[in-house]
Amino acid sequence: MPCLKKGDKAPDFKLIDQQGSTIKLTDFKGKKLLVYFYPKADTPGCTKQACSIRDSLFDLNSLGISAIGISPDEPGKQKKFHDKFNLGFPLLSDTEHVVAQAYGAWGKKSMYGKEYEGIIRSSFLIDESGKIVEAWYKVKPEDTVPKAQQALSDK
């Protein structure tokens, strides 16, 4: 699993969101972007993470940060998740894990002694020029927003 680090160029992406629109990294050129990868829509940890971002959107936006979530879920499932919790930001569908792999957010995991491949909960703060400000692998759902805010205050 390649791990991105501060100063790396963020891998480009072009994915479909919960509304069926195509979203690209270049759509955010000139803006800061919080990209987070989550395993599965409408599960406890993923809901906690998404709702913490929703609840912090005003603060994030006031810092010039937009947010997007990416998971292997189909757009229809993303839409149900988005609508159920009134999230207010794009959820992108990466069913083939291509973007997750490019960000190092896809890899070996284990649960109850069984190994499998899946999303490694990760988040990335990307600057206005498309460079990684900070990358967090195996991030706790409740730490996604505070870590992004801290990274900006450390700059």
Catalytic residues: 46
Backbone angles phi, psi at 39, to 5 degrees: -65, -45
d(CA 128, CA 10): 11
d(CA 111, CA 116): 8
